[in-house]
Structure 1
Amino acid sequence: MMSDPKRIKVTDATDGGSVSLYSKRERIQVKSVSGRFQFIRDVTILATMGLYLILPWVRWNGQQAVLFDLPGRQFRIFGASFWPQDFLLLSWILILAAFALFFVTVLAGRVYCGYVCPQTTWTRFFQWIEFWCEGDRHSRIKMDNAPWTTSKIIRRGSKHVLWLILALLTGITFVGYFSPITDLITRLFSFSWGGWELFWVGFFTVATYGNAGFMREQVCLYMCPYARFQSVMFDRDTLIVSYDEKRGEPRGRGAKKREQSVVDEKGDCIDCGMCVQVCPTGIDIRDGLQYECITCAACVDACDDVMEHIGKPPGLIRYTTENALEGLKTHILRPRLIGYGLILVIMGSLFMATLYGRVPLQVDVIRDRNQLYRTASSGEVENIYRLEIQNKSQSTHRYRLTMKGPEGLKMNNRTEFTLEGSKTLSLPVTVSYDPYIVEMESSPIWFIVTALDDPDLEKRHESRFIAPGR
């Protein structure tokens, strides 16, 4: 009985057969490829890596532009300081990022993974180092199978040394976002790093070296959750990398040497395997849409180059949609995409308005907990408060404190003070009135703090004045 080639091959384990529950990973040796999409990809990857490495060194008003100062409980980002009270803004940013990812996925699939994902970025840099030290795919495969020689030791050792240098640079830069990087580098040469700095630099060095140097596509296939839930966001109008089966099948080798009758019977695919050799996850795009595909379009550039050499039009593998492959109309604007877009616009606008209207000044009023009011020796009725005034900017300002309340109330404290950037002032304040001159009932009052050099920098806080009952 002849076997059906479309059926999955199975092994009969009941008749002396053996089934292995563990399969050793076959290392993927990626062939280098150039083309329009790889050029775009290289630009985005260089921009991503460059931004990560350079940003901690950027100065703003004499300070590190981006610094997440955890001991000081503040994030400094280009002159703006964010404190624990601003945690809602961070939550807002994360929600916006999630909806932006949903929007891009519905529109163009996993382009984030192929062009700006950190795992893709660092793996690409490690592959460039590997290509520079050991050569292209065939040279690396040949070296893997060759015995150890002086040349092999030097070339492979150089690769690992450069990998470790880049991984160490990654770890130092990461810690430089949380500890001033100039001070961090200075203390590196004096061997005076703290325990946590040593731990996190070591952790990210090892993680980067392992993920980008050895695990590579395993992170995308088995560790990244995005590959698992992307299917719920795809539809038949999502732009994906696809193989045109109608044009390519049936496959046949030797396109330039075929007889005309054979050419007419065969498709454009010459089964050269270039699309598989350049794929960073090792899949065959001709098998259809697969969750392993990170939409990097390396197979598109490789196939277009082959088509050019055999005199065929490009686009056998291309960015397209399932509807377009079947000859149906592609709908770019569709309810799901419009919904994500509207949410992004609305939430983004509200976030920008909140950020624009944010006053980098915090005023908290704490009443004296020991007594509601007291009578001074002069006969005046007093309420005691403590004002916690926090300058949430990075600049020094001079402020004026005023009080608004019923006529007859007065504030018996200094009204002007200077506060440095990112500093807090605890200011005791006494509010009183003379009961022999005016009658007073318990009523709300407002403390107002205004910057003298910037009238728009103003914050007010409501409290209450407690007067004796009649």
Structure 2
Amino acid sequence: MNSKIPVTEISEPDIEKKASNKPQTIELYQSRKKIYVREIKGFFQRIRNVSLSALLLMYFGLCWVTVNGNPLIHFDLPARKFTLFGTVFWPQDFTLLAIALIICAFGLFFITSLFGRVWCGYSCPQTVWSFMFMWLEERIEGSRNQRIKLDKQPLSKQKFFKKALKHTSWLLLAFATGMTFVGYFYPIRELTSDLFTLSISSGAAIFWIVFFTLATYINAGWLREQVCLHMCPYARFQSVMFNEDTLIIGYDHNRGEPRGSRSKKAKTDLGDCVDCNVCVQVCPTGIDIRDGLQYECIGCALCIDACDSIMEQMNYPKGLIRYASGKELENKPKAGKVNFRAIGYGLTLLAAMIAFMVALQQRPLVELDVLRDRGALYQVSGMGMIENNYVLKIINKRKVEDQFSVHIAGIDGELNAPESISVAPGEVRSIPLSIAVDPKRLLNSTEEITFEVRSKSDPASIASSDSRFLGPAYR
């Protein structure tokens, strides 16, 4: 398939321009051009350094924190038990998970409608790890110009050493990232010990460590802005949450144009933009913010710090590129319509947070599941009694061990179960039991029954579950 479309420039119908017109071609599928990001310092970069440091510290540190010997955060998939900051959640708490996801979604929508893509610029994992990889690249290969020059050089010992050192540091950071991620599912202390003593027996753990190591290395080291531009859906639907009052990173066209270079002391009729292109050189997605709002902009504010540094050198006021609303950049009056979109997101977020707190407070601390023996409909004992077998699963969500007793309702029968069942904190205790009923007392072949477990230390902790008792079909 031909990926080039011939395009002829349309010009004024004068003889000279018609004679000079030549067909041009536009590439539909252009190869990616590597972006060499220039390092810059400034106010917003200090804010990002604080946020990135805090996020990295939490990510790499929280998996090591234990409370009373238990991990602070642990997702135990085999046991279907999820510990978050000391609170144990079970699959039965799916409603809480759904509400938590709603809170996260509408929290992101609410912040975006007010402050634009601050999530992408300061908190997104892709941004966090990409900036870490770029920081390592800057320390090893040098400044932007040095990296460009190095890539153009033929392979030499020095170039090979720098490239090898850079990719080794990337792989080490990626490996630490992958191992830490798996450490939230596989206790990190055991994982580290087993891994470095080559005694790890879990093939799944090894697979996921390798998977996330390669994913981090590729996404943050090689793809970088391509993830934001072509893989992340957030860049595509963010415009739905934007309006004229949303804070964006924008270029003050009225103040900056016409742009042009000049000396520091020169008197000129040009705008404040000196056309230095530093704002383009520092952009991690390679865009020119002076072209207006673009979906590629991740809101990192590198261009703001870069432009402010140039304005300071030229003794011009800062803020040629700044956080501002669309109205402000177009010199429109600030007073306008109420931002109903932000209000709607905020109210939904508040309602979801209230619902989460209510559901968390009313969450039962004891739950009961009843599994009926499917191997046989019923059994007839030597005494002529009809027996059904069950397995009770008692979930103790409390932080202390508790004793439970089992009771049945809905049928007049004999319950064969322990008088007291001890369940440790956070444990799922399976108890096999049976119910024997005199055939004369069975009115139907199927009877609805209710199992109930009661805490001996806390009378309010009661859990129940319905099941069926099956008997002979003839009557």
Tell me the TM-score normalised to structure 1 length.
Answer: 0.85
Give the stretch that moved more between structures: 440-449 or 50-59.
440-449
Where do 1:336-351 residues align within 5 Å?
A: 336-351=341-356
Is residue 366–residue 461 contact of structure 2 (8 Å, CA) maintained in 1?
yes
Name the SS for the 1:256 alignment partner: coil
Identify which of 299, 303, 306 aligns with 1:295: 299
* Alignment CA distance shift 1:35-1:276 (3 Å): same
Tell me which of 276, 281, 289 is aligned to 2:280: 276
Deviation (angstroms), 1:429:
5.0
SS in 1 for 2:461: strand
Matches within 5 A, 1:10-409: 19-193=26-200, 194-259=202-267, 262=268, 265-326=269-330, 327-329=332-334, 334-365=339-370, 377=383, 384=388, 386=390, 388-393=392-397, 395=399, 397-401=401-405, 403=407
Question: In the TM superposition, what whole-angstrom CA distance separates every residue of 1:23-64 from its partner, at most 9, and x where no partner exists?
Answer: 232211111111121111111112222211112211122122
Distance 1:289 1:302, change over 3 A: same
CA contact (8 A) 2:402 2:456 kept: yes
Aligned partners of 1:397 and 1:451 also within 8 Å: no
State the distance in 1 between where 2:88 and 2:436 align.
Answer: 32
Q: Secondary structure at the match of 2:404?
A: strand
CA shift, 1:375, in A, is 9.6
Query: C-alpha separation between the residues in 2 aligned to 1:140 and 1:367?
Result: 68
Deviation, structure 1 residue 139: 1.9
CA contact (8 A) 1:396 1:418 kept: no
Partners of 2:93 and 2:266 in 1: how far apart? 69
1:382 shift after superposition: 7.6
State the alpha-carbon separation in 2 of the partners of residues 28 and 466 from structure 1.
71
Contact 2:413 2:435 in 1 (8 A): no
Identical aligned residues as a percent:
45
From the superposition, tell whether residues 456 and 406 of structure 1 become closer, same or farther in structure 2 (CA, over 3 Å). Answer: closer
Q: Please report the RMSD computed on the Cα atoms of aligned residues, expressed in angstroms.
A: 3.4
Q: CA deviation at 1:224?
A: 1.1
- Aligned partners of 2:459, 2:54: CA distance in 1, in Å? 40
Q: Unmatched 5+ residue regions in structure 2?
A: 1-8, 13-20
Residue 86 of structure 1 aligns to a residue whose secondary structure is helix
**Alpha carbons of 1:182 and 1:454: their partners in 2 closer, same or farther (altered >3 Å)?**
farther
Q: Distance in 2 between matches of 1:118 and 1:186?
A: 27
Deviates most, 336-345 or 55-64 = 55-64
Give, as a single letter, the amino acid of the residue that structure 2 aligns with 1:223. Answer: M
Larger deviation: 331-340 or 247-256?
A: 331-340
Partner Cα distance (2:89, 2:133) in 1: 35
* Farther-moved stretch of structure 1 (395-404 vs 180-189): 395-404
Aligned partners of 1:163, 1:269: CA distance in 2, in Å? Answer: 37
- 1:399-429 Cα distance to aligned partner (Å, 9 max, x none): 2325475899875643312123323222415
Distance 1:87 1:200 in 2: 25
The alpha-carbon deviation at position 376 of structure 1 amounts to 9.0
Distance 1:388 1:125, change over 3 A: same
Matched to 1:45, the amino acid is: L
Q: 1:333 to 1:169 in 2, by over 3 A?
A: farther
CA contact (8 A) 2:405 2:455 kept: no
Task: Label 1:140 to 1:462 Cα distance change in 2 as closer, same or farther (>3 A).
Answer: same
- Unaligned runs of 5+ residues in structure 1 are 6-13
CA shift at 1:342, angstroms? 0.8
Q: CA deviation at 1:385?
A: 6.2
Q: Is the 8 A contact 2:365 2:398 kept in 1?
A: no
User: 2:428, 2:342 → 1: CA distance?
Assistant: 45
**1:161 and 1:413, CA in 2 relative to 1: closer, same or farther beyond 3 A?**
closer
Does the aligned pair in 2 maintain the 1:446–1:460 contact within 8 Å?
Answer: yes
Q: CA 1:462/1:215 → structure 2, altered by over 3 Å: closer, same or farther?
A: closer
| Aligned pairs, number | 453
2: CA distance between counterparts of 1:18 and 1:310? 41
CA distance in 1, matches of 2:208, 2:469: 51
1:424 and 2:456 are equivalent in the alignment: no
Q: Distance in 1 between matches of 2:124 and 2:298?
A: 10
Q: Can you list the C-alpha shifts for 1:332-375, whole angstroms capped at 9, x where unaligned?
A: 95111111111111112112211222123221345678678989
The CA distance in 2 between the partners of 1:308 and 1:401, in whole Å, is 76
Contact kept, 8 Å, 1:79 with 1:393, in 2: the verdict is: no
Q: Structure 1 residue 154: deviation in Å?
A: 2.5
Question: Residue 22 of structure 1: CA displacement?
Answer: 3.6
Instruction: Return closer, same or farther for 1:371/1:199 CA change in 2, 3 Å cut-off.
Output: closer
Indicate the residue corresponding to 2:6 in structure 1.
none
Instruction: Specify the alignment match of 1:9 in structure 2.
Output: none
Note if contact 2:396-2:423 (Cα within 8 Å) is conserved in structure 1. Answer: no
Task: Kindly provide the CA deviation profile for residues 90-134 of structure 1, in whole angstroms up to 9, marking residues without a partner as x.
Answer: 233223222222212211111111111111000000011111112
Evaluate the alpha carbon distance shift between residue 84 and residue 287 of structure 1 in structure 2; reply closer, same or farther with a 3 A threshold. Answer: same
Residues 69 and 178 in structure 1, CA contact (< 8 A), matched pair in contact too = yes
> Does the C-alpha gap of structure 1 residues 280 and 441 become closer, same or farther in structure 2, counting only changes over 3 Å?
same
3-state SS in 1 of match to 2:394: strand
